[in-house]
Chain A
Amino acid sequence: MSTVETTSEARPRKGRARAFAKALGRFLFAAVTTYLGLLAVTFFIGRVVPIDPVLAILGDRAPNHVVERVRQEMGFNLPLYQQFFIYIKGILSGDFGNSVLTTNPVMVDIRRVLPATIELATLGTLIGAFVGVPLGVLAAVRRGSIADQVVRVVGLVGYSVPIFWLALISLVIFYAQLRWVAFPGRIDIVFEYTFTPITGLYLLDSAWQGQWDVFYDVFRHIILPASLLGYFSLAYISRMTRSFMLNELSQEYIVAARAKGLSETRVIWGHALRNAAVPLVTVIALSYAGLLEGSVLTETVFSWPGIGLYITNSLQNADMNAVLGGTIVIGTVFIGINLLSDLLYRTLDPRTRNR
């Protein structure tokens, strides 16, 4: 009897580990194929666009004999597949090439611009989560009321209005008219040469160094783009929160909790939201990843010197090494966050572990 008992206990544990390993394996396979696909598609699109990359290296006014010479030097006269293999070989040895525009190695550039995007997207997600979750809860609890309708309309607008349009309108209102926020960019030129960032996250760095005037300036630069991004993630987060909460509120344990005489606050925030929080983590993580990659337009409108602006500029200049490097980094972040949220989900919700 006792032996049977031990095996019956051991079996699921072993099975659990195996299932986990299987899930991880599946995930890694998906990641690698996604990567290869990403590389191939970006590379070939980059090469077939009707833009001459040599123009990016030499500028519009270069005389033709120089153009021809550089085309030979750069190997652009080789067949496409050969260029692709040369490129892949470079990446495998950690070399993404140099950016034509900045003359730096692409990875050096990305290390410089990535913190700006992370700072913006993080603040955007925080705003989205801290406003979106309570709004979603409110809408669920007061289902069908005016408040619910309002939250839904707010969400709908966030979903359907193009972000760059809203960005331009808000710039005109908050920057040009009201003067509440600062000029597009990340920091005022007054501080550009007195402030030395450490991590590259300016809010954190300036607070750490006790430079509150810099902190305030950075805040006035970041608040509008971050609020806009926050609004867009809020639209998604509040809608998902509402539906998760509705689902939880209809469960029997809620009825039981109420019957036990728990206060509504405890029932809603303590019980229902706690259970809804598990899928919400995934929602918020995905929205974060979405903001990281989707900040391209926002960064362009707000001259935010992050990776989105870097890629846009590079694309306009046919600076393909930079475009490819940037795309790969964003892809990596996206795949990484996906993996993390997946693992977090498994940890938080025991029911998913054996799947």
Chain B
Amino acid sequence: MMITKLSRNFRMLSTGAALSLLMMTAPSAFAETPKDTLVEGFAIDDIITMDPGEAFELSTAEITSNSYSLLVRLDMDDTSKVKGDLADSWSVSDDGLTYTFKLKSGMKFASGNPITAEDVAWSFERAVKLDKSPAFILTQFGLTGDNVTEKAKAADAGTFVFTVDKAYAPSFVLNCLTATVASVVDKKLVMDHVKAVTPDAEHKYDNDFGNEWLKTGYAGSGAFKLREWRANEVVVLERNDNYYGDKAKLNRVIYRYMKESSAQRLALEAGDIDIARNLEPGDIDAVSKNADLATTSAPKGTIYYVSLNNKNENLKKPEVQEAFKYLVDYDAIGATLIKGIGEIHQTFLPKGQLGALDENPYKLDVAKAKELLAKAGVPDGFSITMDVRNSQPVTGIAESMQQTLAQAGVKMEIIPGDGKQTLTKYRARTHDMYIGQWGSDYFDPNSNADTFTGNPDNSDAGTVKTLAWRNTWEAPELDKEAKAALLERDAAKRAAIYQDIQKKYLANSPFVFIFQQTEVAGYRKNLKDFKLGPSFDTNFVGPIAKE
């Protein structure tokens, strides 16, 4: 009897459980994303601020370029050129020092305020005086807090005049102005939100130029306006109806923070997101086989490389450096680990930039490498460590190199770590080998040429900490050549100099370049006109529509 009573209770309990399960299944017609809204799954965990004068992260650049305007932008049809955005036309003075921009007329910010040359001038002044991470892109033209109001100023409401300190190649100056730090902010709106601060040695001005407010606020004029950013959760953009260009087709764009490739794929298949941005090769395969989904790709300016620290006595030898270039199985890596997300590329300028050299002379050649190691006095190899961040494809590439290096007697130990952990060690130059990725700071060959060759002070206390510095390597001749390229005003001649530097670099440098990233996205087929751009800040959402 006791048993029957208990069973009855138990039966009621299980019935309850079954009922609640039923309740969950009832509406199996799954809610899709709204028709007027685009939802992207994207690893946006690098975002730390939305202020265009401060932001320097890859995801932020994409958001900024969709929500702010620039004087000039990269020309999508030929990325070695620029075209006007706010600027209608521009001219360079004969001495190469003064750039005069004429603005288009009748433009407005999202707030409704008119866009004038005064806003452009103040945006430059603000970025220079704030002096945050990306400010060097402007200050390298000789701008300082003291002279910026003179060197970047409005001649009248529709004319902006920019004066540089040397007769740089115009392609260099204009490319730098396409960087997000040169975004134009709404002076009037930002001024309403500036916070008073007490000047000190670090910050000589009595206000914060609206930095605190703009970290999460918005004062732009792009196709979309920023509605909200919640760290590691979501970025919400809304259409800017005051936009002077082609109006965005959708009302709202939502970037949802999703880190994992598999989670993005699940959500894409279920229709909970429209675009998956961080798919790994296996998931790309699955997506491309699904009839409701499609993939698209574009080469990006990001280069993956392995660097050898010259503090290590063995890695310092040029023969060893060359031997390592023969000890990478490029073919296998290209066919498996980076299939669909990158292509083998062995020089420091990414395809698409002015002067990029498309030569991949190295192949896996153990015999040749052994010869070089013998010449270097280490015929039996040696032991070495490599710092590797815990993410694909770098982990896979490191493991592949571990095997190929072993074939020549080099024992490589992998030290895995979190991205910030490996980077901390790399910046302190206490590594042996490091596998890294490098994206140009601005879409001009100087960005990479400078960091891979420049190293004016190789001491630990050196202040210009380029990638060459991080690997304790000096190449004064190459650096000189790169500096000269900056003043070459003929674009074709300038390109030739960079090609020459890359050729010399291939033969002799402690950097083993492996591949250039191809960005891939999976999307639902009801999307129209979705394209990835050639750089991280050219993935525009304005033209996208939904069927």
Contacts and interface: CB of A to CB of B under 8 A. Distances in A.
A272 B186 CA distance: 73
A207 interface: no
B113 interface: no
B371 interface: no
Interface stretch (A11-19, A47-55, A84-92, A153-161): A47-55
Interface in A29-87: 49-52, 55-69, 73
Interface in A240-272: 263-265, 268
A100 B49 CA distance: 9
A189 B5 CA distance: 46
B25 A180 contact: yes
A303 B260 CA distance: 11
Contact of A59 (B133, B212, B230, B270): B133
Interface stretch (A2-10, A117-125, A169-177): A169-177
A50 to B, nearest CB: 5
Interface stretch (B27-35, B69-77, B161-169, B499-507): B27-35
A60 B230 contact: no
Interface stretch (A279-287, A288-296, A313-321, A344-352): A313-321
A179 B270 contact: yes
Given A64-B464, A179-B30, A317-B420, A141 B231 contact: no
B291 interface: no
Given A138-B6, A179-B270, A55 B215 contact: no
B230 A102 contact: yes
Nearest to A305: B233
Contacts of A110: none
B31 A188 contact: yes
A326 interface: no
A69 to B, nearest CB: 6
Given A55-B420, A176-B270, A183-B270, A268 B231 contact: no
A136 interface: no
A59 B56 contact: yes
A304 B21 CA distance: 21
Given A61-B133, A264-B2, A102 B231 contact: yes
A103 interface: yes
A58 B465 contact: no
Given A51-B420, A60-B423, A303-B258, A66 B131 contact: yes
Contact of A131 (B13, B57, B202, B257): B13
A181 interface: yes
Nearest to B463: A65
B254 A189 contact: yes
B199 interface: no
Nearest to B216: A103
Interface stretch (B261-269, B303-311, B355-363, B401-409): B261-269
B5 A265 contact: yes
Interface in B35-52: 37, 39, 45-46, 48-49
B232 interface: yes
A188 B39 CA distance: 12
A176 B266 contact: yes
Interface string B463-491: 11100000000000000000000000000
Contacts of B28: 179-180
Interface in B147-180: none
A184 interface: yes
Interface in A169-218: 171-172, 175-176, 178-181, 183-185, 188-190
A62 B46 CA distance: 12
Contacts of B439: 61
A59 B6 contact: no
A127 to B, nearest CB: 10
Nearest to A66: B133
B48 A51 contact: no
B382 interface: no
B492 interface: no
Contacts of B377: none
Contacts of A337: none
A103 B9 contact: no
Given A138-B6, A141-B6, A176-B270, A318 B420 contact: yes
Given A183-B270, A190-B31, A268-B2, A66 B216 contact: no
Nearest to A189: B254
A58 B49 CA distance: 9
A59 B39 contact: no
A274 interface: no
Nearest to A57: B48
A50 B17 CA distance: 48
Interface in B253-288: 254, 256-258, 263, 266-267, 269-270, 272
B46 to A, nearest CB: 7
B425 interface: yes
A134 interface: yes
A49 B421 contact: yes
Contacts of A171: 266
Nearest to B424: A52
Nearest to A265: B5
Contacts of A99: 231
B288 to A, nearest CB: 18
B24 A313 contact: no
B46 A59 contact: yes
B284 to A, nearest CB: 17
Contacts of A57: 48
B375 interface: no
B154 to A, nearest CB: 28
A56 B269 contact: no
A62 B133 contact: yes
A274 B372 CA distance: 82
Contacts of B46: 59-60
B135 to A, nearest CB: 8
A176 B420 contact: no
Contacts of A264: 1-2, 5
A142 interface: yes
Given A61-B441, A189-B37, A316 B45 contact: yes
A317 B333 CA distance: 30
A101 interface: yes
B56 A50 contact: no
Nearest to B22: A180
B270 A55 contact: no
Contact of B3 (A63, A65, A131, A142): A142
B478 to A, nearest CB: 20
A107 to B, nearest CB: 16
A335 interface: no
28 contacts: A51-B418, A51-B424, A56-B48, A56-B420, A58-B48, A58-B133, A59-B48, A59-B56, A59-B133, A60-B420, A61-B441, A62-B133, A64-B465, A66-B131, A66-B133, A66-B135, A67-B427, A69-B202, A103-B49, A103-B212, A138-B10, A175-B270, A179-B270, A180-B24, A180-B25, A265-B2, A313-B231, A318-B420
Given A56-B48, A101-B232, A268-B2, 10 more contacts: A51-B424, A59-B56, A60-B423, A64-B463, A64-B465, A66-B131, A137-B6, A176-B270, A179-B270, A303-B258
Going nearest first, the 10 A-B pairs with the smallest beta carbon separation are A264-B2, A64-B465, A62-B133, A183-B272, A52-B424, A102-B231, A101-B231, A313-B232, A51-B420, A176-B266
